[in-house]
Amino acid sequence: MTEKQYDFFISYNHNDERYASWISYLLEEAGYKVFYQNWDFKAGQNFILQMQHGATFANHTLALLSKNYLGSTYTQSEWAAAFASDPTRVNQKFMPVRIEDIDLGGLLPQIIYIDLVGKDEDEAKAAILEGVLIKRKKPMSPPPFPGMIQKSEKLESIQGKWYEKWLDSRIKELENNNFVEEVLEGAKFAVHLVPLESITRNLTLPVNKLNKPMLLEPFSTNGWDNKINKDGYCTFSKWPHAEKSHAYVQFFKNGIIESVDMGILKPRDELKYIPFIKFEKDIIAHAYKYLKAIRSVDIKLPIALNITLFNISDYYVGNIKFPREKINESTLKLPTVIINSWDDKLDTLLKPSYDLIWNHCGFEGSLNYDADGNWHEFNGMYHIY
C-alpha cells in the first residue's frame, strides 16, 4: 500500500471522549479521513489490533494530551510508537493537542503542540485546522503592504545636530541672566559639555554620583566652594568681599556640565581684550577635567563641547595697544565640537572654535596654533600673558 488509508488516528483516553468526538467530526467536515475508535471499531474486533491498525495506516497520530492521557498505559504506548517512527519530526507523525492546562514533561515540551487551553469554540476550531496543516502556510494572494515606514524624529536628531536644541535654549536663558549662580556683571563665557545620552535617555543621576569637587574646578580661582542645588551639584568661587560669584560649574542631574566664568574676561585697565593664551589654555585644561567627571558616572560618548561668549561686544584679541578689529556681537556662539573618544585631543578639536574669535578680530586664525594645527603658547609680538 503506497498511500495511507487515513489522515489522522485519534489517540485519546476514554475520559476525554467528548473532545475526541468533537475534533474527529471537525476534521472530517474539513475533508480529512479520520480513524476514530467510537466510529471505526466494530463488535467482535480485537481492540489492540484495531489500535495498531489505526496507528499504522494513518499519516498522523493526533494525541489528546490530558492528565488522563499521560497517566494511561495504553495511550503512552500509542504516542511513543508514533514518536519513535518519526524521531526527527520531519513527517509530523506525532501531533499532540493539549486539551487540559497541564505541564508537559519528558520529551513533550520539545514538540510544538496544538493548544486548546483558554480558547473558545471558534478559536479552538481555528487552532485545530491550522495546526494540522502539513503544507507551508503561504497565502494564495499577497498580503497587503503594511505601509511606509516613518522616520524616527529621535533618530533624525541623533544623526544631525542632536545637541542644538538644548544648547540654543540654554544660551537664550543665559542671555537673560538665568545663571545657576548669581554672577558678577560683565563679559563672561560658558563652556557646555552635552552628552548624547543626556538628550536621548532623559537621564536623572543621583546627586551623590555628581559630587566631584576636584574635577569640577571653576575658572580663575585657586579655591572654591560647593553645594547641592535643585539642578544637581555646583561648585562656585567668589573673590574676597564679593557678594556674587565670578565663576561656577554646574553638574546637572542629566549629566550635562555648564561652566561659567567672567574672571578671565574682566577688563584690565579698562581695556576689553581676551587674554588669548590663558583663555584657550584654561578652557582646554578645564574641559579635560569635566570630561573625567562625566566619564566617572558611566556616561558614554559622544559628547558635544561648546563655548559661548556673552556681553563680548567691543572685545578683541591680538596686540593690546593696537587691535585690528573688535567683536561687534553681544553673544558669540563658537562652533560645537564632538568628542567621540576619551583620547581625543581637545586642543585640536577646538581650533575651529578659537579661530572664529580671531576671525572676528581680523585674523586668519588663532596665533596659538602652528601650521599643522598643533596648539602651543604664542611667543611673538601679540603675546599678552
203 and 345 both lie in a single domain: yes
105 and 223 both lie in a single domain: no
Lookup: cell for 235: 561648585
Lookup: cell for 100: 487540559
86 and 195 both lie in a single domain: no
pTM over 0.85? The answer is no
Question: CB under 8 Å to 315, separation ≥6 — which residues?
Answer: 187, 265, 272, 273, 274, 309, 326, 327
232 and 329 both lie in a single domain: yes
189 occurs within a structural domain: yes
pLDDT at 77 over 90: no
344 occurs within a structural domain: yes
243 and 355 both lie in a single domain: yes
213 and 119 both lie in a single domain: no
258 occurs within a structural domain: yes
208 occurs within a structural domain: yes
Of 57-61, 305-309, 374-378, which one has max mean pLDDT? 305-309
Nearest to 10, CA basis, from 39, 45, 36, 29: 36
- Rounded mean pLDDT of the chain? 85
Task: Return the higher-pLDDT residue of 157 and 64.
Answer: 64
pLDDT at 340 over 50: yes
Task: Return the higher-pLDDT residue of 56 and 200.
Answer: 200
Tell me the pLDDT band of 40, cut-offs 50, 70 and 90.
confident
14 and 53 both lie in a single domain: yes
117 and 259 both lie in a single domain: no
Question: Taking the alpha carbons of 261, 180, 183, 244 in that order, is the dihedral positive or negative?
Answer: negative
369 occurs within a structural domain: no
Q: Is 166 exposed, middle or buried (0-12, 13-18, 19+ CB in 10 A)?
A: middle
267 and 355 both lie in a single domain: yes
Nearest to 317, CA basis, from 275, 364, 255, 258: 275
Q: Look-up: residue for cell 510508537?
A: 81
247 and 200 both lie in a single domain: yes
pLDDT tens digits for range 89-121: 445 788 889 999 887 765 555 567 889 999 999
89 occurs within a structural domain: yes
Q: Which structural domain range is residue 15 located in?
A: 6-131
331 and 293 both lie in a single domain: yes
Task: Return the higher-pLDDT residue of 140 and 13.
Answer: 13
Nearest to 19, CA basis, from 57, 66, 78: 66
Give me the torsion for CA of 353, 262, 302, 293, rounded to 10°.
Answer: 140
Residue 99 maps to which CATH number? Answer: 3.40.50.10140
| Number of independent structural domains in the chain | 2
Question: CB under 8 Å to 64, separation ≥6 — which residues?
Answer: 10, 11, 12, 13, 16, 19, 20, 23, 97, 99
Of 87-91, 144-148, 332-336, which one has max mean pLDDT? 332-336
52 occurs within a structural domain: yes
183 and 235 both lie in a single domain: yes
365 occurs within a structural domain: no
Question: CB under 8 Å to 22, separation ≥6 — which residues?
Answer: none
